[in-house]
Amino acid sequence: MKTNLLGYKYVYSFMLCVTMLFSYSISWGQTTVSYDFSASGAVTGLNANPAIALDVNVGFSSHKNLGSSNPAIHSSQLRLYQNDTKGGGIKIYAQNGVTITSIVVHASGRTGNAAYVVDGGSETDLAGSTTYTMSGLTAVTEVEFYQKDASSSNRIYVDSFDVTYTTTAAVGPQITNITTTPAGVITSSDAVTVNADVIDAAGIANVALKWGTTSGSLSNSLAMTNTTVDAYEAIIPAQADGTTVYYALEAENTTGDTNTSTEMSYTVEDPVVVNLPYAVDATTVNPFTEGWTAQDLAGGNSWQYNTGSGVSMNAYSDNCDAEDWLITPAFDLSTTANELLSFELYENFSGTSIDVLYSTNYDGVSDPNTAIWTNITTIQTGNSGVITNNISLQGLSANKVYVAFLYEGTGGSCSDWELTNFSLEEGVTTPTILTSTASLTGLNYMDTDGPSAAQSFDLSGLFLDGTQDVSIETMMGDFEISLDDVAYADSLTLTNYDGTTTPVYVRLKAGHPQDIYADSVLINGYGLTEIEVSLEGEVTPVIAGATNLFFSKYVEGSSNNKYLEIYNGTGTTVDLSTYTVELYSNGGTTANNTETLGNLIPVLGNGEVIVLKNSSATLTLPTGVTAHNSTVCNFNGDDAIVLKHNGNIIDIFGNIGCDPGSEWSEGGNNTQDRTLVRNTDICGGVTVNPTTACDFPTLATEWTGYTQDDVSTFGSHTANCGVSPIADYTYTSGAWFPIDPNGMALPTESIEILDGTATFNNTIEINNLSIATGATLEVQDVLTVNGNITNNGNIIFKSTAIKTAQLDEFNGTITGSGNVTVERYIPARRAFRMLSTAVSGQTIANAWQQNTHITGDQAGNNGFDATATGNPSMFTFDNQYTTAPWAAIANTDNTTLTAGKAYRLMVRGDRTVDLTNNATPATVTTLVSTGDLHTGTYNDANLNTVAGKFNFVGNPYQAVVDMNSVLPTSTNLNTNNYVVWDPSLATRGAYVTIDLATGTNSSGSAANQYLQPGQAAFVTTAANGATEIAFNEVDKAVTNPQTSVFNMYTEDAQAITMQLYTQEQFTAGEAMSDSFRVNFVAGASNAVNLKDAQKFPNLDENIALVNNNAYLSLEYRDVPQANEVLPIFINNYRATAYVMNIEVGTFENVKAYLKDNYTQEETELATGNNQITFSLTDEASKDANRFEIYFAAVLGTDNFTSADVSLYPNPVNNGLLTVNTAHATQAELSLYSLLGQKVYHQDLTGTVNTVDVSGLNAGTYIVKITSNKAVVTKKLIIK
């Protein structure tokens, strides 16, 4: 089917007229008539009753029978569809007493097996052929011919058929080609025109149309008018809905012979018209029972209902050849307004789009191509699901409107579409004011260059009668508005506004100081709720400092797509008449082409660009960007381009006089088939041609590469030129501005610390970080910086018993004169530690020795702490050893710590430990080192070249590192395992081998595949030969829990001790029956390991902890978390009354409770001793699992933190925000604009609440959640 996309008027229409080819007088009384389906206006005669007339004596009709689809005309053939019993067929009727003696059916394309039946008798089979001959017939009623084969490839495609019959007497005029108009559905408003051909050699005396409403009683007679030659016509008046009209034609020739046609009929049927609102859920209701229809006009498949699923269509089995219509009942839209159409379509596979159409003149039954259809929307293929809500049909007014879903394809691939929901309802008719957007951003200008360029939004309205005014004004006055982009003001009035679409222009006023500005346009009128369009703009620093113009972008793309962009960052407008661009091709030293920029445009403003292109370039630049044709854009990837001012070179792209081959390639960038953009920190061109070699050294350092033909950023350029951009968050005078970024900052935002000491106390990801001179930043968790770090102050990575701060994967640069300090927490245990640092430059004496004693000389020479023995406590390892690898350090006052170098250090504690007494208890200490932080790749090739030898290596990063990532990218190192030292094992520590295949060990150590910040380890040379370890930024694994190698052992671990007494024992002060203890240590494993002691059973009472079917008398666990449960096992009771003495340590953020599962009593366990009595009264009270300890979160100021609150989704897209407050069940939520205005408040009950923010404008908001006097602040974006 062909369509006119400019209105979907389907121009193929046909009436029920037939064309027949007749040949008479084969012999006396014998006649042959034919029907050709390729003739114009040919029809199927589907289910016709009476038959379609071939002449006055013979007619035919087609029938589906048991075939897969109705017979249909395609490609000038009648297609009879398959069934192995009785497929599609043709019935040929004998009338007026004639006898059919022969039928010949002509077919081509597909010619399957067939059969025929004469006058309802027995079946005769016919083999597949292009000619099916049925001869020797004596059919006086009918002959039925039909397809008889189950295969779709054996359908029968009929071209034509011939019928031969005999008559026994002369007849009157022949009456043929009887048609009615309208041809399809006839409604109560239709008068029906009856046409026919009447032929007689003797001449026609008269023709009458007999009609009536009772079969056999045609009491009405109309004289038919002879319109042309043998054609006659009469009109039956319109009849009421439901009336069946019967009619026949009576003709008389001039000799008095008469003939009457077979009685025919039609029924008047007005389509069912549905009033709004209308909705159908096709997953529960069959739409075909509600007046929906399907029309299969090509292929064989059709829209069909799938119970519980919907209405689906798939043309795959018909080779994706399809024209299939799914049509709704008629809707009356004559008395409604602002109709809204909604539906849901789902697609499997792809290849077929769905056209959604409407018609006001379709009759509800006929071929849809006979009507005019208008496109509503097209659902493109490639959608897994399409939910289309509230398509406006406003302005469509008719009392009979059909909506159709058209599935159409002509081979190739095709989709399986399913319609699940449909609704059409009347929308709001109350006055409504609309804006085309809820926000305008980027209203920026550089200092002194204001106002900003204007942006606009469209104001429109629905159902506004034009009797009232609408006011438009800015709220804060920082921006100004206009209706013509010429005259600007703070407020405007639209007098008697009727909803006509009106553009409103907005710009940031001139004269503002450098800052970020937020404002709103407020729209009021017709008593409606005020409408707000939020505005954001910025006055940025003047881009000054660029020495002259320079190349900012370069495209060497496909075909002739060659582009250059030149940028002015000088701080002033430049006269281009003295600027030229020159092209040096193929290593030439003389310019091949020269362009004077002043010939293209006269001047170039500060911050603006000029774009040049090849005259045959075809790429689409961003809207508003103009490119000028220039012969210098005839370059290839091996050609140099030069920018000159007054004849002097001010920038060079490439290398003059050098041909590198096809391209220059430096540091991953190349000049062929590539888009290059100048880095933002570049503020001047290359003025001296490289002379050392045929290279392009600044290609790697000054340019960033993008894919071929990428011109998305053309038209503007950014160059910092020494001026730092305004930070999104600033710390100064002891406070954050505008708010604390912890838990708020986005990965694209930047932070600056101007003075004092700021803290990152949560995981944070940002863009750029700047620390001013004298300022300090303390990092307590994971810091991710996507851009660069400018450090003129001090950055401290803190380390505690809980965690050590980390720097995530970093690919930027660190500049500035400041230092970075890294800490390494060491628990209280006198033991050797295998250590490294992530900074370089500080002597040992000024670093770690400030925190712990380092010995090596009796008298304390060479910087050592003096001891009676002078034994050394710090060693290095010779990785190229042959005999003894360990060597004591020579001194601490001249030996410098180096990032990545491995050390072995005896740590006794902090410097308060008495060196004269080895029995002095160890103390906790934190080792501190300061210097230049190592980032980027770290390589150490000074390793052992002998297979099986150990190499002592340190972690060069302030981050957890995955050794399963490090070792495979290193050279000649065993990737199966590595060895760490666990100081918490045995008496003085022990080596632990880590199986890297599983990340585990057999020593009961918490060590795993993750090397900790500040940790050193041993790796093994795999084979004889050169060996090198390589650490890369991608090896960092900061999200993995830090192991307890540095903090497992502690003398004062948080603990719970439970002692079980009989009441008699406890009262008498006698020994207890049994006990257990659990030590809680940060980072400890909750799995049963060698630090845990299995319970040895007693003959009498036993009490134990239960951990995964293991019964323990001693367990080391990680610090308890809210909702954690410790099951308790007790058996072998020997009394009926007992006392539990429970000693509880001090826990942060949680409280411990004892739960009696028998009595259902829960008792809070206070810090210190708790005595709980219980008795045994029946068998159930003796259940071994009667008791358990569980932990609950402490609600209060001290532990309600940002980590306890989550907002999702963020950004909000659908108007609904979910707030999870973890353990806080009572809280208050308030939303503030960036101007500090409180715009929303809601009380929160329970831990999960849904907040409806659909009434707020799109923009950025501050969320404050208060619980028990604690306040958590987060940022929220609404789209």
pLDDT tens digit sequence for 521-549: 999 999 888 999 999 998 876 544 567 89
Answer yes or no: is 1030 within a domain: no
Of 611 and 1092, the one with more pLDDT: 611
For the full predicted model, state whether its pTM sits above 0.85.
Answer: no
**pLDDT tens-digit map of 1064-1085:** 988 888 767 888 889 888 777 8
For residue 693, pLDDT over 90 is answered with no
Query: Which of 817, 840, 867 lies at the terminal end of a domain, its last residue?
Result: 817
Answer yes or no: is 716 within a domain: no
For residue 28, pLDDT over 50 is answered with no
Query: Which of 672, 706, 740 lies at the terminal end of a domain, its last residue?
Result: 706
Query: Which of 799, 817, 835 lies at the terminal end of a domain, its last residue?
Result: 817
Angle made by CA atoms 743, 745, 750, in degrees to the nearest 5: 150
Of the pLDDT bands very low, low, confident and very high (cuts 50, 70, 90), residue 1 is very low
Q: What is the mean pLDDT of residues 730-754?
A: 88
Specify whether 253 is located in the same domain as 309. Answer: no
Of the pLDDT bands very low, low, confident and very high (cuts 50, 70, 90), residue 1266 is confident
CATH number for position 75: 2.60.120.260
Specify whether 112 is located in the same domain as 213. Answer: no
Q: Domain containing 888: what range?
A: 820-1024
What φ, ψ does residue 969 adopt, rounded to 5°? -95, 0
Average pLDDT in the chain = 87
Q: What is the pLDDT of residue 683?
A: 83
Q: What is the pLDDT of residue 1199?
A: 55
Q: Residue 15 in contact with residue 179, Cβ under 8 Å?
A: yes
Considering the chain, what percentage of its residues have pLDDT values greater than 90? 56
Element (H, E) at 106: strand 99-111
Specify whether 528 is located in the same domain as 600. Answer: no
Of the pLDDT bands very low, low, confident and very high (cuts 50, 70, 90), residue 1201 is low
CA–CA distances in Å: residue 510 to residues 161, 444, 489? 86, 10, 13
Task: Name the residue with tokens 């290359």.
Answer: 686
Q: Residue 1192 in contact with residue 1123, Cβ under 8 Å?
A: yes
Of the pLDDT bands very low, low, confident and very high (cuts 50, 70, 90), residue 709 is very high
Q: What is the mean pLDDT of residues 561-567?
A: 96
Answer yes or no: is 1040 within a domain: no
Q: Residue 58 in contact with residue 90, Cβ under 8 Å?
A: no
What is the rounded CA–CA span in Å between residue 1188 and residue 1205?
29
Q: How many residues does the chain have?
A: 1279
**pLDDT tens-digit map of 32-43:** 999 999 888 888
Of the pLDDT bands very low, low, confident and very high (cuts 50, 70, 90), residue 1051 is very low
Of 866 and 541, the one with more pLDDT: 866
For residue 1140, pLDDT over 90 is answered with yes
Q: What is the pLDDT of residue 474?
A: 93
Answer yes or no: is 1155 within a domain: yes
For residue 906, pLDDT over 90 is answered with yes
Q: What is the pLDDT of residue 2?
A: 29
Token reading at 574: 């430049």
**pLDDT tens-digit map of 102-129:** 999 999 999 999 999 999 899 999 999 9
Specify whether 890 is located in the same domain as 988. Answer: yes
Considering the chain, what percentage of its residues have pLDDT values greater than 70? 92
Least confident of 165-169, 1039-1043, 1176-1180: 165-169
User: Domain count of the chain?
Assistant: 9
What φ, ψ does residue 1033 adopt, rounded to 5°? -55, -35
Q: What is the pLDDT of residue 807?
A: 97
Specify whether 1184 is located in the same domain as 1207. Answer: no
Q: What is the pLDDT of residue 1196?
A: 47
Q: Is the peptide bond before 983 cis (omega within 30 degrees of 0)?
A: no
Of 3 and 256, the one with more pLDDT: 256
Q: What is the mean pLDDT of residues 758-769?
A: 94
Least confident of 328-332, 741-745, 784-788, 940-944: 741-745
- Bridge partners of 874, per DSSP, are 905
Q: What is the pLDDT of residue 1236?
A: 58
Q: Residue 763 in contact with residue 1019, Cβ under 8 Å?
A: no
Task: Name the residue with tokens 């008697």.
Answer: 496
Q: What is the pLDDT of residue 725?
A: 47
Of 53 and 963, the one with more pLDDT: 963
CATH number for position 314: 2.60.120.200
Specify whether 556 is located in the same domain as 695. Answer: yes
Question: Parallel, antiparallel, or unpaired: how do β-strands 58-63 and 52-53 relate?
Answer: antiparallel
Q: What is the mean pLDDT of residues 277-295?
A: 93
CA–CA distances in Å: residue 462 to residues 428, 466, 483, 1168? 9, 11, 20, 72
Q: What is the pLDDT of residue 303?
A: 95
What is the rounded CA–CA span in Å between residue 1240 and residue 454?
31
Q: What is the mean pLDDT of residues 506-532?
A: 90
Answer yes or no: is 187 within a domain: yes
For residue 556, pLDDT over 80 is answered with yes
For residue 366, pLDDT over 60 is answered with yes
Q: Is the peptide bond before 71 cis (omega within 30 degrees of 0)?
A: no
Answer yes or no: is 76 within a domain: yes
Specify whether 502 is located in the same domain as 361. Answer: no
**pLDDT tens-digit map of 574-620:** 899 999 999 999 999 999 999 999 999 999 988 899 999 999 999 99
For residue 356, pLDDT over 90 is answered with yes
Specify whether 361 is located in the same domain as 396. Answer: yes
What is the rounded CA–CA span in Å between residue 191 and residue 673?
71
Q: Which residues contact 282 (CB under 8 A, 6 or more apart)?
A: 305, 309, 310, 311, 419, 420, 421, 422
Q: Which amino acid is at 754?
A: L
Q: What is the pLDDT of residue 11?
A: 26
Specify whether 800 is located in the same domain as 824. Answer: no
Answer yes or no: is 890 within a domain: yes
What is the rounded CA–CA span in Å between residue 1244 and residue 1222?
12
Specify whether 1180 is located in the same domain as 1251. Answer: no
Specify whether 1230 is located in the same domain as 1102. Answer: no
Q: What is the pLDDT of residue 1198?
A: 44
For residue 1277, pLDDT over 90 is answered with no
For residue 13, pLDDT over 50 is answered with no
Least confident of 399-403, 903-907, 1084-1088, 1231-1235: 1231-1235
Least confident of 86-95, 188-197, 935-944, 1195-1204: 1195-1204
CATH number for position 443: 2.60.40.2040
For residue 21, pLDDT over 60 is answered with no
Q: What is the mean pLDDT of residues 422-443?
A: 86
Of the pLDDT bands very low, low, confident and very high (cuts 50, 70, 90), residue 364 is confident
Q: What is the pLDDT of residue 853?
A: 96
Q: What is the pLDDT of residue 1239?
A: 85
Least confident of 297-306, 322-331, 1217-1226: 1217-1226
What is the rounded CA–CA span in Å between residue 481 and residue 486?
10
Answer yes or no: is 421 within a domain: yes
What is the rounded CA–CA span in Å between residue 837 and residue 926?
13
Q: Which residues contact 240 (CB under 8 A, 6 or more apart)?
A: 188, 268
Q: What is the pLDDT of residue 1052?
A: 40
Q: What is the pLDDT of residue 516?
A: 86
Q: What is the pLDDT of residue 231?
A: 94
For residue 1020, pLDDT over 50 is answered with yes
Q: What is the pLDDT of residue 420?
A: 92
Cross-sheet strand order for the sheet of 1248-1252:
1206-1208, 1216-1220, 1248-1252
Q: What is the mean pLDDT of residues 667-680?
A: 91
CATH number for position 655: 2.60.40
For residue 25, pLDDT over 70 is answered with no
Task: Name the residue with tokens 């970075």.
Answer: 820
Specify whether 593 is located in the same domain as 681. Answer: yes
**pLDDT tens-digit map of 329-348:** 999 998 887 788 999 999 88
What is the rounded CA–CA span in Å between residue 84 and residue 63?
15
Q: What is the pLDDT of residue 187?
A: 84
Q: What is the pLDDT of residue 1075?
A: 80
Of the pLDDT bands very low, low, confident and very high (cuts 50, 70, 90), residue 724 is very low
